[in-house]
Amino acid sequence: MNRLLGWLIVFVVMVFGLQWLVPEWIGGASADWLSKALKGPRPTIEVSAIPFWELASGKFQWVVIRGHDASFSGVVVKSFGLDWQDGQIGLGNHGQPIRVIRVGHLKGHVNISAEEIARLVDERAILQHSTVSLASGAMTIAGVLALDGRRVHLAVRGPLVIADGGESVTFRPQELNQAKWPLTTTITVLKVSQLKLPVRLALTRLQISHEGLSLSFQNR
C-alpha cells in the first residue's frame, strides 16, 4: 500500500512538472523561431495549455508574446505585444511556417518609430526630399514639389487616422503651408495586409506622439 502511494505521488509530481516544463520548452523554441522569422532580437513567449498534451494538436489556452526591433514583411516595428486566447495552430502549407486552425481571441499592439513612418511616407513619393514630423494627433510632411521645371517648397499637415474598416492608416491633409488644404485627399501610409500575418486583423486604436505611432489591433 505504501509502495503504491509512493508511486502515485511520483506520478503526480511528474505530471505537474511536465505541465510546467512542456509549455516552457514550447515557448522557448517558438521564441527562437520567431526571432529568425522577424529578423530581430529573441522575443519572450509564454504558453499555457491545460492539460499540456493539448499542445500536441496545436491547442492552447493563451499565448503572450512581447518583442522589439522586429521586421514584419519589411515594416520595422520598435516594439510589439500579442495576447492570444483559445487558439489552435498547425503546420503550414505552400511554404507558410504555420496555419491558424482556430483563431480564438487575439489582441495586441505595435509601436512604429517616427523614422519608420518617414520611410513609409517617402515610399509613397508624395514630395521630393521630404521630411516627416509627428506631433500629438497630426503629421507634417515638408518637401519639394517639381512642377513644370520649378521647385516649390511645401509643408502639408493633417491627422493620421484608421480607415477602411480598420484595414489601413491614412493621412488626411488639412493644411498647406499653414493655409487650409483646398482638396479632399487621403494618402495610405500603412495597410494591415502589408504585414502578411496568418490572422486577419483590424486596427482599433491609434495614438501619435513625436516619437512615433502606436497601433492597437484585434482579430476579425
pLDDT at 41: 92
Neighbours of 22 (CB within 10 A): 17
Residue 174 grid coordinates: 488639412
Question: pLDDT-derived band of residue 96, with 50, 70 and 90 as boundaries?
Answer: low
Question: For the chain, what is the mean pLDDT?
Answer: 82
pLDDT at 2: 56
Residue 6 has pLDDT above 50, yes or no: no
- Asked whether 47 and 65 are in contact (CB, 8 A), the reply is no
pLDDT at 54: 83
Residue 12 grid coordinates: 503526480
Query: How big is the CA angle at 163 (ends 157 and 165), to the nearest 5 degrees?
Result: 170
pLDDT digits (tens, 9 = 90+) for 132-176: 889 877 898 888 876 666 777 888 889 999 999 999 999 888 888
Residue in the structure block whose three cell numbers are 487616422: 161
H helix or E strand, kind and range, residue 12: helix 2-38
One DSSP character per residue, 71-134 reads EETTEEEEEEEEEEEEEEEEE-STT-SEEEEE--EEEEEEEEEHHHHHHHHHHTTSSEEEEEEE
